[in-house]
Structure 1
Amino acid sequence: MSGYVENFKMPASLFTPLRIGNMELSHRVILAPCTRCRSPEQVPGDLNVEYYSQRATKGGLLITEATFISPRAGTFARVPGIFEKDQIEGWKEVTSAVHAKGGYVFLQLWYTGRCPPDVSEYQPLSSSNKRLEGCCPFNPNQIPFAEPKPMDLEDMKQVCSEYGQAASNAVVAGFDGVEIHAANGYLIDQFLCDNINDRQDEFGGSVENRARFPLMIFDAMIQSVGAHRVGIRLSPFGNVHGAADSDPYATWGYVCKEIEKRKVAYVHLVEPRHHDLFQTTEQKLAFLKGSAARMGRDVEDALTLRPFKQVLKSTPTIVAGGGLETAMNTFLEGEADALAFGRFFIANADLPLRLQHGLPLNKWDRSLFYTPGPTGYTDYPLAVA
């Protein structure tokens, strides 16, 4: 594997206890959900057990890769599910291995919406019939995305039921809780973002209407397994899979306000990446000024997660995205109660140890993120053999 890239020591306060749901974390370095495509036939196996066990620490929290809640939820190859008995049994081996090391683990639940390639027997569901342009990057044959069906009320009830059942299945499999994947342009985002959701009914138009179905899903999961076992991942500035919103602070500010009322385990926010949002400096400045004016805040608050954190007064906030220095500053400035890492955790199974003691970090190999074998998955060297 590739060599070391840097030493980076995180502040001591990152290695103090944090209460999330009914769990008492011993540190605040969390594994972010990372799609890895290492589950043949959508069933977790020994390789997955080894991967998550490597990253488990006493009192540490792992959030798994996004996992399909039903056959219709997605079609990406080697992505696990949680809707069949053999999948539940496979995940039991993973959770047992994590718990044996004193760790905690949440399962991220996934419904891709309009994002699968046009190869499934199921027409994908979305807020509208707006087709995603281009071809699915997870399909080697460059097959275009399918045209989605705008969901009707019966579709919504069915999907809510599937989310509730998936959450229940996850608890049966031994997970400490579940995280709804409401980020990165997938189904939930397709309702929240006004550039996709052009509905004229009670699920489109205003922020309250666009958030109605996402909150229905959230409540179905809470009813299924309890609020203390439910988290959610949001990307207010995601700009992924064609999802964007004209006023992120209004949209996700309302969503966070509603989540705060529900007293759930946590909210997991994705750090904005400015280079993904703007082609020019002028575009960035225009957004910052307009955003600050709408919020009634200083321009320095725009394009930060600070306003959401201020809404989530009693809900623990996990923040992911950006580099190590960005993460450290976000934590020290009080915008996050815990930090989630993806790429750094992929290449460093013992990341909490390395960050606590300033040990050198392995560099990840991006070309191996989604390959089928153990290479680039479980073979990165540990700091202490």
Structure 2
Amino acid sequence: MSSTSSSKLFQPLKLGDNTLQHRIALAPLTRNRNDNDHAPISLMETYYDDRASVPGTLIISEATATSHDEEGQRNIPGINTEKQVAAWTKIISRVHAKGSVYFQQLFALGRANTPDYVKERSLPYRSSSDIPLEGYNAIPTPMTEEEIHQTIQDFVSSSKNAIRAGADGVEIHAAHGYLLDQFLSASANKRSDKWGGSVENRSRLTLEVVKAVVAAIGAEKVAIRFSPFAGFQGVAKDDIHELYSYVVEELKKLNAKFAYLSLVEAKGDPAHIVLDADQINKGKTLDFILDAWNNLSPVVVAGGYTPESAIWAVDEHYKKWDVLVAFGRHYLANPDLVYRIQHGLPLNKYNRATFYLVMNNVGYNDYPFSQEFLAAKA
């Protein structure tokens, strides 16, 4: 393994219209700190500002709902009202003031919305098909053609709002069992029309969303996220290689220089709360996607990484490709994570019990910077 000082992890990388100074990114993390109108609150400004403290860092926002109909979980963010856009504008300006790069992750939730909350707000509860999510006592309504086309436009509108708020780009969330993934997966998508059945049809919504967003804001500002091996929220797939090979080839046919592709390792499946990385990842590799992508643009990989395994990933396993490593829980607990990894400093331990405390600073902005980082900044 390379030493930290010589590792590609700390070499610059061009990403879209931006140049990163290293290859560590903040992964998108839902933390329920938004207000009851689904708008960011002031403590979130501090959170993102702190994690952008090392200049040239890629900051990816928490998943943000593309429309009011998709604001179906309590205290997740939207970017649909002027209040929401204004709040994100403050956050993004602080990230930029630190010299870092900001992408807004956008998602539609579909059947992953909370049924009781959706009913309380008189929102539609829908999905690709009428297949219920395990553990929920509600059956989603299959989306109509009109609703599908509206979903595409919602991704466009929210993307434009993110750019208006100052974002350097958007990440389209087609992973982890949310709406686009519900269409991709044959276990959730039982449609018999052009939006279901074959690999081509199940991929159609994701590809149409990407095409529409690219047309609206430019490919260099567009990224897309997939989790091929994840079974979270009932989207386990039996045709992983066929499905994602097709999607990648169709994306390449657009002749577009995307900002980046984001991929979740098998060990990053949220269905696995306690990670046995060796066992979960056994025989499951993202290599076939990176081979097909062929350095069209950088690839962000995420899922249970440590500082040591991140260095190994960029210098050995993925050395043929332009790869960044995104950290979630460790970045939450270490606002100066980039500095700590670069200088071999020990990490703060994260507290899982505080991950989703609504509108609360505990377990959010109370993790300390290292004394070394503070001294260096002073």
Judge same fold: TM > 0.5, yes or no: yes
Conserved? CA contact 2:268–2:303, under 8 Å: no
Counterpart of 1:259 in structure 2 is 251
**Equivalent position amino acid for 1:25 in 2:** L
Q: Does structure 1 residue 364 correspond to structure 2 residue 364?
A: no
Counterpart of 2:302 in structure 1 is 320
Q: Distance in 1 between matches of 2:178 and 2:365?
A: 28
Residue 62 of structure 1: SS of its match in structure 2? strand
Unmatched 5+ stretches in structure 2? 273-277
Unmatched 5+ stretches in structure 1? 1-7, 136-143, 279-283, 289-299
- Please say which of residues 320-329 and 217-226 is displaced more in the overlay: 320-329
Q: Over aligned residues, Cα RMSD in angstroms?
A: 2.2
| Change over 3 Å in CA distance of 1:10–1:345 after alignment to 2 | farther
- Please say which of residues 337-346 and 323-332 is displaced more in the overlay: 323-332
Q: How many residues align?
A: 351
The within-5 A match list for 1:367-378 is 367-372=353-358, 373-378=360-365
Counterpart of 1:297 in structure 2 is none
| Change over 3 Å in CA distance of 1:226–1:275 after alignment to 2 | closer
CA offset at residue 115 of structure 1? Answer: 1.1
Conserved? CA contact 1:362–1:380, under 8 Å: yes
The within-5 A match list for 1:1-385 is 9=4, 12-41=7-36, 42-56=38-52, 57-119=54-116, 120=118, 121-135=122-136, 144=137, 146-261=138-253, 262-273=256-267, 302-313=283-294, 314-324=296-306, 325-332=308-315, 333-334=317-318, 337-372=323-358, 373-383=360-370, 384-385=373-374
Conserved? CA contact 2:297–2:322, under 8 Å: no
**Equivalent position amino acid for 1:153 in 2:** E
**Equivalent position amino acid for 1:238 in 2:** A
Q: Distance in 1 between matches of 2:14 and 2:182?
A: 32
Q: Distance in 2 between matches of 1:46 and 1:276?
A: 28
Conserved? CA contact 1:319–1:336, under 8 Å: no
Residue 82 of structure 1: SS of its match in structure 2? coil
% same residue? 40
Deviations for 1:300-341, whole angstroms, at most 9, x for unmatched residues?
A: 9x4100010001111211100023144333322216611101
Residue 338 of structure 1: SS of its match in structure 2? strand
CA offset at residue 111 of structure 1? Answer: 0.7
Conserved? CA contact 2:8–2:314, under 8 Å: no
Deviations for 1:166-221, whole angstroms, at most 9, x for unmatched residues?
A: 00000111111000111100101111111111111111121111101111111111
Conserved? CA contact 2:47–2:364, under 8 Å: yes
CA offset at residue 268 of structure 1? Answer: 0.3
- Please say which of residues 9-18 and 93-102 is displaced more in the overlay: 9-18
Residue 362 of structure 1: SS of its match in structure 2? coil
CA offset at residue 277 of structure 1? Answer: 8.8
Deviations for 1:134-173, whole angstroms, at most 9, x for unmatched residues?
A: 14xxxxxxxx4x3212122211110111110000000111
**Equivalent position amino acid for 2:366 in 1:** D
**Equivalent position amino acid for 1:222 in 2:** V
Deviations for 1:317-367, whole angstroms, at most 9, x for unmatched residues?
A: 110002314433332221661110101100001111011111010110000
| Change over 3 Å in CA distance of 1:60–1:276 after alignment to 2 | closer
**Equivalent position amino acid for 1:352 in 2:** V
CA offset at residue 258 of structure 1? Answer: 1.9
CA offset at residue 124 of structure 1? Answer: 2.1
CA offset at residue 10 of structure 1? Answer: 7.8
Conserved? CA contact 2:155–2:213, under 8 Å: yes
Q: Distance in 2 between matches of 1:52 and 1:68?
A: 18
Residue 29 of structure 2: SS of its match in structure 1? coil
Deviations for 1:65-102, whole angstroms, at most 9, x for unmatched residues?
A: 00111111132111111000000000010011011111
Q: Distance in 2 between matches of 1:192 and 1:43?
A: 29
- Please say which of residues 366-375 and 320-329 is displaced more in the overlay: 320-329
Residue 371 of structure 1: SS of its match in structure 2? coil
Residue 19 of structure 2: SS of its match in structure 1? strand
**Equivalent position amino acid for 1:147 in 2:** I
Residue 65 of structure 1: SS of its match in structure 2? coil
**Equivalent position amino acid for 1:51 in 2:** Y
**Equivalent position amino acid for 1:327 in 2:** A
